[in-house]
Each structure stands twice: as C-alpha cells, then as structure tokens.
Amino acid sequence: MRSDEVQSVLADRVEALRESLTERWGDVPHRVRDPIHVPEYDFPRTPDDIFPWVAVCFVVEDGRVLLIQDSGHSSEWEPPGGKGEALRASKKANGEFREQGETLRVSERASGEHREQGDRGESVAETAERETREETGIECEATDLLFTETLRFDYGNGVPMPVLQAGFVARQVGGEIHPTAAAIENASWFGVEEIPDGTQFAEEIRSLDTER
C-alpha cells in the first residue's frame, strides 16, 4: 500500500475507536499530539504493521496514584500503560483492508455495551488493565475514560501514522507492587498533589477525582 493509503486507513481506525469509546464511556477531551519521530523503525507497509492503540492507566487509591519508571522512556515517572496487540488484517478481493475476526472488531456484549477488540480479544480498557498488571503487579478495574488523543508517528518520510491513545481512570482490585516487565525499574504510589517534577500526564493526574 502507498503511505497515504496506510495513513488514511489508520485515521479511519482512530475515528472508529473514538466513536466506540464515546459510546461506552461518554464524551471526553480529545487532542492531536505533535509528531513523534521514530526513524529507527520501518515504515508500516500495511495498516496492520502498527499496533492498534495505546492505553494509559491512572490507578487511584486512597488519594494516591500509581506511577512507574520505565528505562525505555524519557519521562522520570509515568502511569503504567502500553500498546494493544498488533493487528493482522485480511484482504478483500478488491484490495481493501478490513478489521475482522482476529483483527480489530467491535462486538456487542450481552449487556448491549460495545468494546474494541484486538488479537487477544481485549478492549482498549482491558489493555490498560493488563499493562498495569504486567508492569506493576497491581490488579485494577477501569472505571472511567479520562481523555483520548491521536498520536502521530513520523517515520521520516513526512507521512505521520495516527494511532489512538486512551487514558483510563481505574481502581485497585487486588495485587501488590511487584514489577515483572524488564524495562520497569520502579513502581510506587504518590499523593496526587505530590507527584514528582517531570511526571508524564501531570496535569491529568492533578485533575483526578481522588474521592471516587
């Protein structure tokens, strides 16, 4: 596929995810981020050569928020989170790509609520919960959607690739701090008003309703 075709499909995917999340969680602020330069990676040749979404998890407990230190990131502290599973697209006879089966799909639960699913059959919120468990040892449950944003990855050819990032508020339901991911150097609870300087998403963290 041409780079502009890949970009167009990914832009449609971002919009579809936003609509599905809005249907499930209600309207939240959305922003478009400045391009993130990633020239060290190969340009995605199809829409499914890039992860379908990124989820960030703001776990709040007793007025505190859970933060990690990731050796692969530039920020000193940040909420846990990570990528959804990579999609594997199937190709129609006319050459168009679609999201189905093992790829991104919107399915209806028995309750009538919708969710977005990747290869693991997990929703965007479940990605946030899984990444929190893997990175910190804390089991949590997403309770609210805080924001969405469009990330734009610049591979050096001037055609940035859009991917949705969603930030969820969550509550602890079990576990204890015990990071297992190799890149996670530390994980700790901080008072919402006492987060370290340089913490990623500091403004969003300070906006959290710690009484919920």
38 versus 112: which is more confidently predicted? 38
Q: What is the CATH number of the domain that holds 84?
A: 3.90.79.10
Global pTM value: 0.84
Query: Is pLDDT above 60 for 100?
Result: no
The count of structural domains within the chain is 1
Span 167-174, average pLDDT: 97
The closest alpha carbon to 17, from 160, 144, 200, 162, belongs to 162
Residue with tokens 């190799």: 182
**Is 175 contained in some domain?**
yes
180/183 Cα distance (integer angstroms): 9
111 versus 172: which is more confidently predicted? 172
Q: For 40-90, how does the pLDDT look when each residue is reduced to its tens digit (9 = 90+)?
A: 999 999 999 999 999 999 999 999 999 999 988 777 899 999 999 755 433
Q: Where are the beta strands (DSSP E) in 155-183?
A: 161-175
Query: Is pLDDT above 50 for 133?
Result: yes
Q: What is the DSSP letter of 192?
A: G
**Is 10 contained in some domain?**
yes
**Is 211 contained in some domain?**
no
The closest alpha carbon to 57, from 151, 127, 113, belongs to 127
**Is 97 contained in some domain?**
yes
- Indicate the pLDDT class of residue 210, thresholds 50, 70 and 90: low
**Is 115 contained in some domain?**
yes
Compute the mean pLDDT over every residue in the chain, rounded to the nearest whole number. 84
Query: What residues contact residue 5 under an 8 Å CB cut-off, 6+ apart?
Result: none
The parent domain of residue 59 ranges over: 3-206
Q: For 137-169, how does the pLDDT look when each residue is reduced to its tens digit (9 = 90+)?
A: 999 999 999 999 999 999 998 899 999 999 999
**Is 185 contained in some domain?**
yes
pLDDT for 86: 53
**Is 109 contained in some domain?**
yes
